[in-house]
Structure formats: C-alpha cells, structure tokens
Structure 1
Amino acid sequence: MLVVEYLYLAATAVLVVSGLTMVGMAIRAYLQTTRRAMIHVSLGFGLIAAAAIATAISAFVTDFEGVRSLLLVNNGLSSLGFILVVYSLVIYD
C-alpha cells in the first residue's frame, strides 16, 4: 500500500471516530433534554460517518477505479448529513 493510502485511512478513521462521538453526544443530549433537534444532529453526523466508511470501503474494493461514483456517493451522503445538522439548528427551540 502507498503512503497516501495509509494517510487516507488515517484521515477516514479520524472522521469516523469524531462523527460517531458527535452521534453519541447528541443521543445523550436528547435523552437529557428530549429536544428533537438532537435526533437530527445524531442522524446527520451518522450519515457523514457512513459516507466516509462507504467511500473508504468502496475505494479499496474497486482499487480506486470508480472515482466519479465514489465522489457522488460521498458527496451525496455527506450533503444529506449536513442538511440534517443545519435543519437541527433551524428547529432548535
């Protein structure tokens, strides 16, 4: 494996761990406050982490061949995740 591939895996791991940490924090906040916005935050960051995981797995399975498809899936899931995070800010009481 190339150095850039190790760096990609490391960056993906950091993104996934931080995203799932945000999911956990949002769920805990929801349990404490019962604010619906926290559900949207957790779903949003869950989608962002899922985008990173799906892109990394797909990239290594396809040997980085389908770059356009990888970027479409990554940007699509990440966009939906960020839309949910922004929506949670809009509906926050």
Structure 2
Amino acid sequence: MSAITRDEVAHLARLSRLALAEDELDHYAAQLDDIIAAVARVAEVATDDIPPSSHALPLTNVYRPDEPRPGLAPHDALAAAPAVEDDRFRVPRILGEEA
C-alpha cells in the first residue's frame, strides 16, 4: 500500500500549479514514497549523543579591526587611467542617451 495516494499527489500538483497527466500521478506517488522512506531512514539514525552543529569543525570568523585609513588621492587613482575628464575616469558612451 502506498503511503502517498494519487489524490494527495493531485492535491499537491494543484497547490503547485502543475498540470499532471493521470499516469504521472501514479509515477510521482511512487517517487514520493521512496523519498519519504529515505527521509525516515535518516531520522532513524541514533543522534542522541551528538550535539547539533552546522559544520563538522568549529568555525571562528577572523576579521581585521575596522579602522579608517586614508584612501587614494584623486590624482593617484587617475594616474594610470587611459582617459580622464574633470577628475573622473572617461569611458566610452554605451547608451545613446544625452548626459
């Protein structure tokens, strides 16, 4: 006996806005049974003595201190630019719009 019925698959399909043919209902019912059985087997694993974790190894984020530092002066930043205009990088126009 299937744990998931054709009616339940049809109901899920309607909720998901999926149009399924009659033969697909049986096909997906069998697949959903296999998925539910696999999840049940995972749930049977003895995990009482294992603490919950999100990673196998403990992780610690290492950040440098967030301290303000002086940035580049405009003339230093633009020194290697192929084209400069009004203390800005000059780039080719890519849109046909007027600035």
TM-score w.r.t. length of structure 1:
0.30
Of structures 1 and 2, the larger Rg is shown by 2
The structure carrying a bigger helix percent of its residues is 1
Higher RCO structure (Cα 8 Å, ≥6 apart):
1
